[in-house]
Structure 1
């Protein structure tokens, strides 16, 4: 790759052309067509599942078996979040308005999350995955992604940061609560738009109604256990579907300019595993293809994968794909490298290429 980057007098233009060629191929094959049957079926199954959970909740009454309902609800709400993600990316309908309102109703009305907040954050991630100062998914937070982030910490926060790899999955139990809080903070601002106020009404009504029903129909202890388990499992399921896609891939310096093809492929990782992994990760296991074609319907991603993989091999662009469990091992090791060993675990290959001497 260093030879490609250095010896080409206009690499940006050449790689831009490469993506254009790939995009035309995919479009000509009809791989961007809408999959209405798939999505209406998924939405219908989600609604039926929620109805079944509500029925089971009422029939069980005052029982600790309600915790099984909490686990089932967490799984179904994770699928709701995946559908709202797809709709926010305009994968479901041709109409932008239909996609936006579907995403808003699914996320706000069913899952109690703000799609407006999430979409703003997620769009920045798609524009510059793993780029320091630009990708909010690697910004300073509970988990540190660079040694500089760890070095700035003190006390208990530093202790947690030093062990963040081992604590990663326990920390994910708080992700569901964090998503609800961040969304509400975004929606209840004084300068919120009309649509944001409508969404705030959806989110607040859903969250308040959910908690009220729990504490009206169950004793406080069981209600709290139900709520805590559901939020914890929801956070783990959702966070675990996003984490392997970019964590442990190279970090890009803030000032580096990259063409679209390499920016999306080199910083993303696919996860193997078949239909089970497809379900658990909501199609996000085809992360490279999703980043290259964000509006491509979820079920089509697996069909375009061999095309993208062959294309990347032909043009010597590294295509990363690992197994399901291996991916989490990589994430944990990456975070421990940043924390315990306080060193850069990965160097951007493009930076190394730019510094490497040209060869003839």
Structure 2
């Protein structure tokens, strides 16, 4: 089953957890004190770059009747939409740039280029997801109400379509974001709840109307008039469709790499009781995953290649996450905690492998619900030597032996038993 006692699973005492929290607080304080001109310059350069890309892409799609121009316009516009959603919209709405007191880039005023209204997303993502990260029954991002991504979710025949559902979710991800806040499967019995749903659906409908009108009505109409050709209008519309789907697939991939590879743990509601800030930090570290990136891949992912650091400090500027990651990795080494990362393709492949496996009932799967690659619990160690709540110091090296070592030892013992 999912983790119900995070400190026990991490092999840390209460004092250890609080000490870890204090060190992470210190990282936050250092970055907050150092924010300034170089960060503002990075943001404004990003905005200029994104707007230049979008203008170029829009102009190219107006001449999309020729195939090379179609591809150039569609890809350029797709990249512009990715940058706007990932490095600008997502991060601005997290409040990463509120310290600048600039109304143009403030979390309360940014409306992004996607069908989901910003106000809705800030509730489902900033509050629900980041507060209750990977907590079963609390965080809707655990499968998005559509996918089975942990053995703790009861299997239903519906789950046989896991791979098909995720393919559709990837292609039309912006509509999944728009629908998530609506909680369409939730029963609403009171007049107030029904009125709230009606207001939310109206907001979503208006936002979808604006997005569809911009990309598939206005832009093609202008192209048709300029080129005096209905065919040009159709080509512009298909180029815009490709750009939107390109953005959707990329966004889906980046998000899944941060939440569903092996090592991104799930938790039960039991661990939420009286959770301290330090315990919340620890849960974010265990429930998130990174992928390795250079400057370009990091930028195109909105720096969510550093998903662990983003979950620890969601309101710190994204351009600082790379330097923060060096200090977080040092803390993981100090407390012998795993730092879950890998190449982009490996992390994304693991996510799809999990989605494929969990389309089947548990009886067709190997391992257990306590020790599967995509799911673990504090009970995974009890078949060996039981949980170790006190820090264990290796007498020969003087190093702490905690969760990272315990996982490695447990795997080695299983391999030995398998080969015996």
TM-score range, shorter chain: 0.7 to 0.9
Contact 2:124 2:180 in 1 (8 A): no
What is the CA–CA distance in structure 2 between the aligned matches of 1:112 and 1:140, rounded to whole Å?
17
Match of 2:343 in 1: 323
Q: Which residue is equivalent to 1:114? A: 117
Gaps of 5+ in 1: none
Q: Counterpart of 1:286 in 2: which secondary structure?
A: helix
Q: In 1, Cα distance between the equivalents of 2:183 and 2:379?
A: 38
Deviation digits for residues 50-78 of structure 1 (CA, Å, limit 9, x no counterpart): 111222233x1544443442232122111
Structure 2 unaligned residues grouped into runs of 5+ = 185-193, 225-229, 391-420
Q: Matches of 1:100 and 1:272 in 2, distance apart? A: 28
Once the two structures are TM-superposed, the CA of residue 88 in structure 1 deviates from its matched residue by: 1.2
Aligned-pair CA distance for 1:101: 4.7
Query: Which of the two has greater helix per residue?
Result: 1
Distance 1:181 1:213 in 2: 24
**Conserved in 1, the CA contact under 8 Å of 2:281 and 2:312?**
yes
Q: Which moved more, 1:204-213 or 1:41-50?
A: 204-213
User: Which protein has the larger Cα radius of gyration, Structure 1 or Structure 2?
Assistant: 2
Corresponding residue of 1:279: 299
Other-structure match for 1:293: 313
Tell me the CA shift for residue 152 of structure 1.
2.2
Quote the RMSD (CA, aligned, Å). 3.7
Write the distance in 2 (CA, Å) between the matches of 1:235 and 1:121: 18
Q: Deviations over 1:86-130 (max 9, x none)?
A: 1111111316783775664341xx444311111111121111222
The answer to whether the 8 Å contact 1:250/1:267 transfers is yes
The size of the alignment, in residue pairs, is 347
1:84 counterpart = 2:112: no
- Cross-structure match for 1:51: 55
Q: Are positions 1:178 and 2:184 aligned together?
A: no
- Contact 2:310–2:321 (CA under 8 A) maintained in structure 1: yes
Q: Indicate conservation of the 8 Å contact 2:53/2:79, yes or no.
A: no
Give the secondary-structure state (helix, strand or coil) at the position aligned to 2:287: coil
Which residue of structure 1 lines up, in the alignment, with residue 287 of structure 2? 267
What's the TM-score, normalizing by structure 2? 0.70
Whether contact under 8 Å (2:51, 2:80) holds in the other structure is: no
- SS of residue paired to 1:134: coil
Correspondence for 1:136: 140
Question: 2:30 corresponds to which residue?
Answer: 28
